[in-house]
Structure 1
Amino acid sequence: MQFCDDCGSMMKSMGSQMVCANDDCQATVVKDEEKAAEFVSTEEQSGDEVIETEEGANFEGKPTATDVTCEECGHGEAWYTIKQTGAADEPPTRFFKCKECGYRWREYN
């Protein structure tokens, strides 16, 4: 990963140059081919990797928790997703959907 010397934003590869991702900066640097071999580019996230936590999210098929109890119906199984909602040094938040009644809740560790 390379960062812009002018503004500190990430640089992205465009042909033989590295271009600042900040639209206001637009700094460019010619790629150093020796260093370029050290860098690894990644693809954007696919829809399968995105964690859905909003009201209409489909939890079916997600991992199942058996250590929870639904506050609405008392059922002991729920689908869940995990999302980092706070700072990196804080534990993630688990979002649940009851397998029986569909009630949703979250748990902070």
Structure 2
Amino acid sequence: MEFCDECGSMMQTDGDVWVCGSCSFEKPRDSAKEKAFQEATTESQSDEEGVVDMSDVDKSEIGPTTKTICPSCGHDRARYEMKQIRSADESETRFFTCVECDHKWREDDH
């Protein structure tokens, strides 16, 4: 991706040159620079990068916990996370998972 040296707009390729759609400024393409950028971008998108093996982690150690009563087993501790699933002007929804029985439930402000 290139930006125009004259007006700052995003440029488009046209054969061997970059052309600005706003002011028509042109500059030659640098194939070595484009190839290096493409290789760097492709490397950073490998399938294994960012994958975390959680199979050996105790579930009670994952995420924050809070004191709340599980509606299924009555245990007093649950992991939680909050997500904005409704419009931005409404409060977040709280999702809980009991650390004892793995029961899942949610709470909304009404």
Normalising by the residue count of structure 2, what TM-score does the alignment of the two structures yield?
0.48
Structure with more of its chain in helix, by fraction: 2
Q: Which has the larger Rg?
A: 2
